[in-house]
Each structure stands twice: as C-alpha cells, then as structure tokens.
C-alpha cells in the first residue's frame, strides 16, 4: 500500500485541494511540506499528536518536513476555534516555548541537513513594514470571503478584534514566504485551519502564478465529538515534567471503548493488517487494545524504558501490588503543613487530584478517594508529617493513583 492510501485507510485525511497531485507528490517523496505550531505553552500536548505523527510518517516516506514555529503569529493569536481572545505573550516567553517545542519534536522528526527543518516565522513577520504588507498582501484578500470563514464567524457575535483579523493574511504570508525561500509546496494542518490554508494557496497563485497544495488532518475527537487530550487536571502534555509518563500511559489506558480502535489506527505505527484483525475484538479484549495503545504512544513520546515502567506500575497497582516507585508523586514541604499535618482536601489540591476544593470535597463525600487502600471517611481526615515521610498513596476513583511524600 502506498503512503497516501495508508493515510486514507488510517482516517487521517479530512480535506485536500487536489487529491491527484497531492497523492503523486507524497507517494514519490516530492513533498516539502510545513505544519505550523503556535507556541502558546512551554510544551506540546495530545492535540498536536496527529500533526507530529503525520510528519513522522511522511518523513519516513522520503518527504521533507518543515516545522514552523509561530513566534510571530503567536504575538497575535489564532482565533480559530476560540470564543474569546487569546492572552498576549512576551517575546521572551514565546522564544522559551519555541525551544521547548524543538526538544519534544526531535522524538518524532529527524532534523538536520537534507532532513527536517525548524523555522520561526518571527524571523520574517516581525521585520515586515505594515504599509508595504497591506499594499502587497492585504490587497489579495477579500473581507467578504474572510468573514465567511468559520474561524471568524464563530467570533462575530462576541466581537473580533482587528488584531486577530490579521491572523489569516499573516498565516497565508508564511506559506508564500516558505514557498519562495524553502521550496515548500504543501501545507498540512488541523481541519479547523482550512480557511487559513486556502488563503495561503490563493496568495501564492495570485502573487506568483503557481500552484501550491493544502491538506487538513482529521481532528482527534472522542465518540462524543469532543477534542481528546483533556483531563480534570487540564491538558495531557508531552513534557514529562507536566504530565508524567505514568499519567500519560493512564490517559490512553482509560479512554472509552468506543475510541480505542480509532486511536490505534490513527496514532500508532502498528501495521494496518494487525489493526484490521483487532477491529473484531470485543469485551475484555478491548482492555488489551487499550494497554497496547497506551504502551505504543508512551514509547513514542517518552521512550521504551519509560513505557515499560509505566506499564509495570499500572499492572502492579491494578493487581494491588506494592511497587509504587513509578507512580506520579508530589513532594510536600513542611511549609504546606499546619501544626504538623495536612487535611485531605489540601492534600488533594497539592497533588492536583481535583481542579477545585469543591470538587475535592464532592469526591471525598461520595467515597471516591482512598488513602493507603482505605476509603477516606470524611473531609476532616488529616495526615501527619510522620505518615507523609513514609509516603501516602492516594487513589481517586478506580484508576487515578498518586503518591504524596514529605521531603
């Protein structure tokens, strides 16, 4: 099976500008393509997974990826999929986030001479002369067409700032610039980026009289139509300091039965023949599929050693084993104790086992919290410094484990 057909079989492709030409380029390693990443945090997250895996697949087939870090566009903020305006970031914060992104991307993509490249659109966007830009580029955009774009329509009721209105022309200019200076002939992105991507292909056509191509990737949604990658603690990050390998493993191990095979097909590099056989699995076999999914993705992001440790720790905890060495752990200090002890709600908040105190209270009152394998009887339960020095093992619900230890 050729590369493009495999992407279709895995359900990765949403929309394309010219399927025949894109197929020919991808199958023959002729695509120099880019995917943009706005550095709005200091870590990539599960929402970026589809793009990273696609870049890896296409590089393996001989195509050349360009990872575009939006150091310039991040100073505006993408309105796509937003109901409010993104907060402003300083240039120093953006540069720090860019450095973090590259380190994480190196797990997926091979950078170097003749291989993948990383570029930052701040290098050209921040030096633009505004009058020249709106004369040369702005004149190519119809305001009527822009207002019909889904990313703007969603914002019109609550208000769309002129700052954000510049995002589409600037993203389009990225493609125009990369086409001229890097030989980039294709752009990939999430399905919510379609309007912005078409802006780029149209700008290249109008300014240069040449064809460029765009393809959108299917968004990673669960069976309820919601974006995957969120938990009670927030986003599931690829940085092990923000989401531990164990928590990352557990996130995938605990997804709904209805989502597991779709995730295996779209995100793993297992052969399609093996996945087709697994499609027949039912009942308890789906737990095996979830464990395989969790292992494969943890290995991809954190390496084989961490994936093995996470799997071993998960099995030990599920079986009531004593090995908690790889369990996510929060280290407490004496300053967090009051009169040498800490109350259960404060401990849960310190361990980020609940987003709010009211949620922590509800969990305890409903009997959903265990400490050292015994149900926490009420919100007045406290733990002493001596207990915490030995380590207190908390369990939220059936599957979320965490250890608190006093250092």
The residue ranking higher by pLDDT, 241 or 88, is: 241
Q: Of 224, 292, 223, which Cα lies nearest the Cα of 258?
A: 223
The residue ranking higher by pLDDT, 325 or 277, is: 277
CA angle 381, 382, 384 (to 5 degrees): 150
The predicted structure's pLDDT at residue 9: 95
The answer to whether residue 324 sits within a structural domain is no
CB 232 within 8 A of CB 251: no
CATH number of the domain that 296 lies in?
Answer: 1.10.240.10
The predicted structure's pLDDT at residue 152: 63
Q: Of 119, 23, 139, 33, which Cα lies nearest the Cα of 69?
A: 119
Residues 115 and 263 in one domain: no
Q: Of 324, 369, 366, which Cα lies nearest the Cα of 343?
A: 369
- φ/ψ (deg, to 5) at 387: -60, -40
Residues 313 and 337 in one domain: no
The answer to whether residue 191 sits within a structural domain is yes
The predicted structure's pLDDT at residue 83: 42
Residues 148 and 20 in one domain: yes
Residue 30 C-alpha from the chain's centroid: 27
Residues 129 and 206 in one domain: yes
Rounded CA separation 42/82 (Å): 20
Rounded CA separation 245/276 (Å): 28
Residues 126 and 256 in one domain: no
Q: Give residue-wise pLDDT tens across range 109-122.
A: 999 888 999 999 98
Q: How confident is the model at residue 377 (pLDDT cuts 50, 70, 90)?
A: confident
Provide the domain count of the chain.
Answer: 3
Which region among 214-218, 258-262, 266-270, 403-407 has the lowest average model confidence (pLDDT)? 403-407
Report CA Rg, the chain: 24
What percent of the chain has pLDDT above 70?
88
Residues 258 and 300 in one domain: yes
User: What is the mean predicted confidence (pLDDT) over 189-204?
Assistant: 89
CATH number of the domain that 34 lies in?
Answer: 3.40.50.620
Task: Flag whether pLDDT at 64 surpasses 60.
Answer: yes
The predicted structure's pLDDT at residue 153: 65
Alpha-carbon dihedral sign for residues 182, 186, 192, 196: positive
The predicted structure's pLDDT at residue 119: 92
Q: Which of 282, 299, 318 is the last residue of a domain?
A: 318
Task: Flag whether pLDDT at 399 surpasses 60.
Answer: yes
The predicted structure's pLDDT at residue 324: 65
The answer to whether residue 350 sits within a structural domain is yes
Residues 16 and 145 in one domain: yes
Q: Give residue-wise pLDDT tens across range 70-114.
A: 888 776 654 444 444 445 677 788 888 888 898 899 989 999 888
Residues 334 and 243 in one domain: no
Task: Flag whether pLDDT at 232 surpasses 70.
Answer: no
Rounded CA separation 404/390 (Å): 9
The answer to whether residue 223 sits within a structural domain is no
Q: Of 43, 34, 29, 88, which Cα lies nearest the Cα of 302?
A: 43
User: CB atoms < 10 A from the CB of 340, how many?
Assistant: 11
The answer to whether residue 77 sits within a structural domain is yes
Residues 343 and 313 in one domain: no
Helix axis angle, 257-267 relative to 49-60, nearest 10°? 40
Q: What is the mean pLDDT of the chain?
A: 86
Q: Which of 318, 351, 371 is the last residue of a domain?
A: 318
Helix axis angle, 285-302 relative to 257-267, nearest 10°? 40
CATH number of the domain that 339 lies in?
Answer: 3.10.290.10
CB 161 within 8 A of CB 135: no
Residues 56 and 198 in one domain: yes
Residues 238 and 163 in one domain: no
Q: Of 292, 287, 382, which Cα lies nearest the Cα of 338?
A: 382
Q: Which of 318, 348, 367 is the last residue of a domain?
A: 318
Helices then strands, each counted (H, E), the chain = 19, 15
Give the list of residues 6+ apart from residue 321 with CB closer than 8 angstroms, or none. Answer: 315
User: CB atoms < 10 A from the CB of 273, how many?
Assistant: 9
The answer to whether residue 10 sits within a structural domain is yes
Domain that holds residue 75: 3-217
The answer to whether residue 222 sits within a structural domain is no
CB 4 within 8 A of CB 22: yes
The answer to whether residue 172 sits within a structural domain is yes
Residues 193 and 243 in one domain: no
> Which residues, in sequence order, are bridge partners of residue 402?
394
């Amino acid at each position: 099976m050729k590369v493009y057909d495999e992407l279709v079989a895995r359900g990765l492709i949403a929309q394309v500008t010219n399927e025949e030409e894109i197929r020919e380029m991808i199958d023959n390693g002729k695509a120099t393509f880019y995917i943009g990443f706005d550095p709005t945090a200091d870590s990539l997250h599960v929402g970026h997974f589809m793009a990273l895996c696609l870049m890896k697949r296409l590089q393996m087939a001989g195509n050349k990826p360009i990872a575009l870090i939006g150091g310039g566009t991040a100073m505006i903020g993408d309105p796509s999929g937003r109901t409010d305006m993104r907060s402003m970031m300083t240039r120093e914060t953006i540069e720090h986030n860019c450095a973090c992104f590259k380190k994480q991307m190196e797990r997926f993509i091979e950078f170097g001479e003749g291989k993948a490249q990383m570029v930052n659109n701040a290098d050209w966007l921040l030096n633009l002369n505004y009058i020249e830009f709106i004369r040369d580029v702005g004149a190519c955009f119809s305001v009527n067409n822009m207002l019909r774009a889904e990313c703007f329509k969603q914002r019109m009721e609550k208000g769309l700032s002129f700052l954000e209105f510049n995002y589409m022309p600037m993203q389009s200019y990225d493609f125009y610039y990369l086409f001229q200076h890097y030989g980039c002939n294709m752009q990939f992105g999430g399905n919510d980026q379609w309007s912005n991507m078409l802006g780029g292909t149209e700008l290249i056509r109008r300014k240069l009289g040449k064809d460029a191509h765009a393809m959108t990737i299917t968004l990673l949604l669960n069976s309820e139509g919601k974006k995957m990658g969120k938990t009670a603690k927030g986003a599931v990050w690829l940085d092990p300091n923000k989401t531990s390998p164990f928590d990352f493993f557990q996130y995938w191990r605990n997804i709904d039965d209805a989502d597991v095979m779709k995730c295996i097909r779209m995100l793993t590099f297992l052969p399609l023949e093996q996945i087709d056989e697994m499609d027949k699995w039912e009942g308890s076999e789906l737990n095996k599929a979830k464990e395989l999914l969790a292992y494969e993705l943890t290995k991809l992001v954190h390496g084989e050693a961490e994936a093995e440790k996470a799997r071993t720790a998960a099995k030990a905890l599920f079986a009531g084993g004593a090995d908690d060495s790889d369990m996510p752990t929060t280290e407490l200090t004496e300053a967090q104790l009051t009169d040498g002890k800490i109350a259960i709600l404060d401990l849960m908040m310190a361990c980020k086992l609940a987003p709010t105190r009211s949620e922590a209270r509800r969990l305890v009152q409903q009997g959903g919290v265990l400490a050292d394998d015994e149900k926490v009887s009420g919100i007045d339960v406290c733990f002493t410094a001596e207990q915490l020095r030995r380590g207190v093992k908390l369990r939220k619900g059936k599957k979320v484990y965490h250890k608190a230890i006093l250092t």
